[in-house]
Amino acid sequence: MAQYSAQLDGVFVALADPTRRAVVRRLGRGPTSVGDLARDFPMTLPSFMKHVRTLETHGLIRTVKSGRVRTCVLNRERLAVVDDWLAEQRRIWEQRTDRLEQFVTGPEENRQ
């Protein structure tokens, strides 16, 4: 459970920044070189590389170097950690709202 929590925390840290979310969104369309990704952002390449390293450290992307070109690839499996957590939260809240609905619509003697 602690490892799952640490993984989830890391993914949320990586996704907390709008630049990194935009990179993940772009990589959802397919692998792209770091240079092509960086062109879309108003920052220096070293600054952009910090975002790439954060995404890579937390397992959301991997990079592959071929010659002088570094290509980024989205790790869709890592996003499943967030999907699982959201599904769990959805179940919890649906159960709570179902109980609330039963309480509100049920017979009055059950409310005391």
Note if the pTM is more than 0.85.
no
Q: What is the pLDDT of residue 104?
A: 76
58 and 14 in contact (C-beta within 8 Å)? yes
CATH of domain 2-111: 1.10.10.10
* Residues 9-37 pLDDT 10s: 889 999 999 999 999 999 999 999 999 99
Which residue ranges make up each domain of the chain? 2-111
What are the structure tokens assigned to 89, written together? Answer: 């939260």
